[in-house]
């Protein structure tokens, strides 16, 4: 419902004061989404990030992509086809896509699933460094991850 894919029966959902029910496109422009399933195809990691940056209307695409590649720890994967990455490494570009355009709200569904412990810690550090200036809705089965990242909990 927050993403505007399902209609709500009553009430309304606002993202930065924008009604999801009345102006879904504008509300979505404030969201960064990391779905549970990766949508990687026949492009390199930077090509994916550039594509999503352009879709989101990012002004300085190359700078934004470089900063996110560095922050997520994708430096060594920039020449590889995203669809050929290991499962754990496919999660990194998915999180990077969610961060493109510096959205005020992040919706993260199992962002660290399949990651090795070191990659999880890097991802957690990245999320902790950006979460102070935005709202983050995280779904996870990992109590360790919830303990490391959450300031509130819902079951």
pLDDT tens, position by position, 36-65: 887 777 888 899 999 999 988 899 999 999
Contact 68, 97 (CB under 8 A): no
What local confidence, expressed as pLDDT, does residue 9 receive?
Answer: 87
Q: Does residue 105 form part of some domain?
A: yes
Q: Does residue 9 form part of some domain?
A: no
Top mean-pLDDT range of 2-6, 50-54, 77-81: 50-54
Residue 137 belongs to domain with CATH number = 3.40.50.300
Which of the four pLDDT bands, split at 50, 70 and 90, describes residue 18? very high
Both tokens assigned to 72: 């997520």
What local confidence, expressed as pLDDT, does residue 115 receive?
Answer: 85
Q: Does residue 107 form part of some domain?
A: yes
Q: Does residue 98 form part of some domain?
A: yes
The structural domain count of the chain equals 1
Domain that holds residue 97: 31-149
Q: Does residue 14 form part of some domain?
A: no
pTM of the model: 0.86
Contact 1, 14 (CB under 8 A): no
Q: Could you give the percent of the chain with pLDDT greater than 90?
A: 34
Alpha-carbon distance of 23 to 30, in angstroms, equals 12
Selected residue with higher pLDDT from 39 and 95: 95
């Amino acid at each position: 419902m927050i993403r505007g894919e399902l209609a709500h029966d009553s009430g309304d959902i606002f993202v930065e004061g924008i009604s999801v029910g009345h102006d879904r496109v504008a509300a979505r422009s404030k969201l960064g989404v990391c779905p549970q399933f990766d949508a990687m195809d026949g492009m390199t990691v930077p090509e994916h990030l550039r594509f999503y940056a352009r879709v989101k209307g990012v002004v300085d695409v190359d700078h934004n992509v470089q900063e996110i590649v560095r922050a997520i720890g994708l430096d060594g994967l920039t020449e590889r086809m995203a669809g050929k990455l290991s499962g754990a490494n496919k999660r990194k570009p998915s999180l990077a896509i969610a961060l493109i355009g510096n959205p005020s709200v992040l919706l993260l569904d199992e962002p660290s699933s399949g990651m090795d412990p070191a990659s999880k810690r890097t991802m957690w550090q990245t999320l902790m460094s950006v979460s102070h200036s935005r709202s983050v809705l995280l779904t996870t089965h990992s109590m360790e991850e919830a303990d490391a990242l959450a300031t509130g909990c819902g079951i």
